[in-house]
Amino acid sequence: MATTLLTVIVCFAILYIAGAWLTHIHSAANQNSSDKQQSLINTVNELLPQTQCAQCGYPGCRPYAEAIVKNGIDINLCPPGGDQTIEALANLLGQPVIPLNTEMGENKPPQVAIIVEKDCIGCTLCIQACPVDAIVGAATFMHTVIEQDCTGCELCLPPCPVDCIELVPGKTGISNWAWPKPAS
C-alpha cells in the first residue's frame, strides 16, 4: 500500500517536473523565434531606402519591414528603392524577383524639396509632415528645408496651403565627379 502511494507520488512529481521543463523550453523557443524575427525586421529595414515616404501604404520604412516579415506582404511596394531594393529583398528572403508595383508610384531619380521663401506663410504644416525633421521654422516665420537631410519623400507637398514647396533634382554624392560609362 505504502509502495503504491509512493509510486503515485513519484509519478506525479515526475510529471510535474517534466511539465515545468516543457513549458520552459516552449517559452524559450518562443523568445528565440521573436528575437530572430526582430533581427530579420532590422535586416529588411536596412535594405529599404529610408526615404520614409509611406508610398508603400505603411507609415515608414520600418513599419513596411515589419509587415513584410510578420504578414508576408509583397516586396515590390517600394518605389524609391526600385528594382535594386526588390532584388536585395528577394535574395534575403528567398523569394522570386518581381517587378515594381507601379500602383504605389514610379521610381524617380533623387530629388529634394525646396521652399519658395517669398510665398511661405509660416503655417508649420510641412514641419509636422516631415518624417525626418528636415524642415525648420516657426509659426508665422519663414520655413526652410535642410537640404542635406531631405529624403525627397514629397510628404510636405499635400499639407502646404499655398503650394510653395517645389521638388528639384537631388544632390548626389560624388556623381558630379563620376566617370562616364564607356561607350562600348
Q: Note the residues at the interface with another protein (CB under 8 A).
A: 45-46, 48-52, 60-62, 131-134, 149, 151, 172-184
CA 163 to each of CA 72, 120, 158, 177: distance values in angstroms, whole numbers, following the listed order:
38, 9, 8, 34
- Minimum Å gap between C-beta 78 and another protein is 12
- Nearer of residues 3 and 179 to another protein, judged by Cβ: 179
- Nearer of residues 48 and 115 to another protein, judged by Cβ: 48
- Nearer of residues 62 and 108 to another protein, judged by Cβ: 62
> How far is Cα 96 from Cα 183, in angstroms, rounded to an integer?
32
- Nearer of residues 105 and 131 to another protein, judged by Cβ: 131
Judge whether 51 and 79 are in contact, CB under 8 Å.
no
Judge whether 70 and 171 are in contact, CB under 8 Å.
no
- Nearer of residues 61 and 120 to another protein, judged by Cβ: 61
DSSP 8-state assignment for residue 102: T
**Percent of the chain as helix, strand, coil, to the nearest 5:** 45, 10, 50
> Chain centroid to CA 33: how far?
21
Q: Hey, what's the cell of 128?
A: 509636422
- Minimum Å gap between C-beta 180 and another protein is 6
- Minimum Å gap between C-beta 50 and another protein is 4
Judge whether 26 and 62 are in contact, CB under 8 Å.
no
